[in-house]
């Protein structure tokens, strides 16, 4: 796979946590479809334009599987997202089945019913934060535990097991060490199977129990689907809460603006979801494999090629968002791609939105004087795990 051609090398290093990596900015000025080298040395296409990323996110000529997985280029060492996933011949049918199975538990109406619990859980975490006093690490006190508490309640996974499964999901998400990622995923599935056995014997009012009770769902399928949800349901939300709070605290005028006008919060959440995805880091986008040859922007993509759909770059494309580097809480155009687009659009988006809105609606009025306890430039995003995100968020008030 490796050749002598000098290609832009992923990941692109950031010089400031809230700014686009200089190498990515330079690349984007040249076009929207780029040949790059992934962190593991394989060649891939990096798509950075909004229109192109949106189109390809919903294009059946791209998929997650590969006809010869062992020969496929990899975006990283993660067992879940580093390489091909699933069976090439049955991928479309498998995906349709997965959505049909999960959709009933993820309807916006069903998820909105969880809002009062999300509010109560957030209030409880903020009580603890208040009691422990300033300064504090908002990552450990709020961004991390809230999505874990919420997904545990939704799925019916015991919160008491969080330290264990958090270690396994963190290992699974590792993009540098394949053995560690595979071990984490295997532990997670083993844990899922144990839970399925328990749910079959003692069903509860939760998504895991309902999956187990669905006709034709084996123990293995219930366990893997549930563990994928446990993974998808908290990793990304933890990261987005962290970035959202940091974007607000890095400019106290924004914190004040939402403190004075709480009715702006739902709209502001969309801008924070857009602005916080910067692109180019770690995995650098949603990985797909071309299922057929096709052309885009004058470039031929060959069947089997790895294509990275860089959502962060798309969200900063000046052709789609005026002054994309500015954080404009009242921005009119909010159609970001942070939750994907089309057939694979994030099933948990309504829940993630509820969590983000609740965090800001409670945190800002309760801690109006909150500020960063360190210089923003000294904070670093993790580049060893899939979703990136802050390892800590020191605040004071």
**CB nearer to ligand HEM: pick between 198 and 357:** 357
Q: How many residues sit close enough to ligand HEM to count as binding (CB under 6 A)? A: 19
Work out how close the CB of 99 gets to ligand HEM at its nearest, in angstroms, rounded to a whole number.
5
Q: Does 240 bind ligand HEM (CB under 6 A)?
A: yes
Q: What angle do CA 310, 311, 314 make, to 5 degrees?
A: 90
Contacts of 179 (CB under 8 A, 6+ apart): none
Distances (CA, A) of 7 to 2, 34, 41, 42, 323: 11, 9, 10, 10, 29
Neighbour-count burial for 97-133, b at 16+ CB within 10 Å, e otherwise: ebeebbeebbeeeebeebeeebeebbeebbeebeeee
**CB nearer to ligand HEM: pick between 85 and 373:** 85
- Of 24, 57, 211, 381, the one binding ligand HEM (CB under 6 A) is 57
**CB nearer to ligand HEM: pick between 299 and 346:** 346
- Of 144, 232, 290, 327, the one binding ligand HEM (CB under 6 A) is 232
Q: Does 115 bind ligand HEM (CB under 6 A)?
A: no
Q: Does 47 bind ligand HEM (CB under 6 A)?
A: no
- Of 338, 354, 361, 393, the one binding ligand HEM (CB under 6 A) is 338
Q: At what angle do helices 265-275 and 349-366 cross, to 10 degrees?
A: 110
Structure-block tokens of residue 241: 């809460």
Q: Does 227 bind ligand HEM (CB under 6 A)?
A: no
Comparing every residue's Cβ against ligand HEM, the nearest one is 348
Q: Does 33 bind ligand HEM (CB under 6 A)?
A: no
Work out how close the CB of 346 gets to ligand HEM at its nearest, in angstroms, rounded to a whole number.
3
* Sole window of 21-29, 128-136, 233-241, 248-256 interacting with ligand HEM (rule: CB under 6 A): 233-241
Distance CA 393, CA 132 (A): 16
Q: Does 361 bind ligand HEM (CB under 6 A)?
A: no
* Sole window of 118-126, 190-198, 249-257, 341-349 interacting with ligand HEM (rule: CB under 6 A): 341-349
Other C-beta atoms closer than 10 Å to the C-beta of 142 total 25
Q: Does 236 bind ligand HEM (CB under 6 A)?
A: yes
* The residue count for the chain: 397
Work out how close the CB of 302 gets to ligand HEM at its nearest, in angstroms, rounded to a whole number.
21
Q: Does 237 bind ligand HEM (CB under 6 A)?
A: yes
* Sole window of 46-54, 169-177, 215-223, 226-234 interacting with ligand HEM (rule: CB under 6 A): 226-234
Q: Phi then psi for 386, rounded to 5 degrees?
A: -50, -55
- Of 16, 25, 99, 178, the one binding ligand HEM (CB under 6 A) is 99
Work out how close the CB of 13 gets to ligand HEM at its nearest, in angstroms, rounded to a whole number.
23
- Of 44, 149, 286, 320, the one binding ligand HEM (CB under 6 A) is 286
Q: Phi then psi for 48, rounded to 5 degrees?
A: -120, -10
- Of 233, 242, 244, 324, the one binding ligand HEM (CB under 6 A) is 233
- Here's the x/- map for ligand HEM, 289-328, by CB under 6 A: it reads as ----------------------------------------
Comparing CA positions, the residue from 352, 80, 381 lying closest to residue 236 is: 352
Distances (CA, A) of 373 to 53, 314, 386: 37, 32, 27
Q: Which of residues 152-211 bind ligand HEM (CB under 6 A)?
A: none
Positions that interact with ligand HEM (CB under 6 A): 57, 99, 151, 229, 232-233, 236-237, 240, 286, 338-340, 344, 346-348, 351-352
């Amino acid at each position: 796979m490796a050749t002598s051609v000098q290609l832009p090398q992923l990941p692109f290093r950031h010089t400031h946590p809230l700014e686009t990596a200089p190498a990515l900015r330079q690349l984007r000025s040249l076009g929207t479809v780029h040949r790059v080298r992934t962190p593991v040395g394989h060649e891939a296409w990096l798509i950075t334009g909004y229109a192109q990323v949106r189109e390809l996110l919903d294009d059946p000529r791209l998929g997650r599987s590969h006809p010869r997985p062992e020969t496929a280029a990899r975006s990283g060492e993660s067992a879940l997202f580093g390489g091909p996933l699933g069976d090439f011949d049955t991928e479309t049918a498998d995906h349709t089945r997965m959505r049909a199975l999960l959709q009933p538990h993820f309807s916006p109406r069903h998820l909105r019913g969880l809002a009062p619990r999300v509010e109560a859980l957030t209030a409880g975490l903020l009580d603890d934060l208040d009691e422990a006093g300033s300064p504090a690490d908002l990552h450990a006190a709020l961004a991390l535990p809230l999505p874990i508490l919420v997904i545990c309640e939704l799925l019916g996974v015991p919160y008491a097991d969080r330290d264990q499964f958090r270690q396994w999901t963190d290992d699974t998400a590792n993009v540098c060490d394949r053995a560690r990622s595979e071990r984490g995923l295997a532990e997670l599935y083993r844990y899922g199977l144990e839970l399925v056995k328990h749910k079959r014997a003692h069903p509860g009012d939760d998504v895991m129990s309902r999956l187990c009770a669905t006709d034709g769902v084996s123990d293995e399928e219930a366990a893997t689907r549930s563990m994928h949800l446990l993974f998808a349901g908290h990793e990304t939300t933890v990261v987005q809460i962290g970035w959202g709070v940091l974007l607000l605290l890095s400019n106290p005028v924004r914190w004040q603006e939402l403190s004075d006008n709480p009715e702006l919060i739902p709209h502001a959440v969309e801008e924070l979801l857009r602005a916080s995805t910067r692109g180019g880091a770690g995995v650098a986008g949603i990985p797909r494999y071309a299922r057929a040859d096709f052309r885009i922007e004058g470039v031929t993509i060959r069947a089997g090629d790895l294509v990275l759909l860089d959502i962060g770059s798309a969200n900063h494309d000046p052709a789609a968002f005026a002054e994309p580097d500015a954080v404009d809480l009242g921005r009119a155009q909010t159609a970001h791609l942070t939750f994907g687009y089309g057939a694979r659009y994030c099933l948990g988006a309504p829940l993630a939105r509820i969590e983000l809105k609740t965090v800001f609606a409670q945190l800002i009025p309760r801690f109006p004087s909150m500020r960063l306890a360190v210089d923003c430039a000294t904070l670093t995003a993790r580049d060893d795990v899939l979703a990136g995100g802050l390892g800590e968020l020191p605040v004071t008030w």
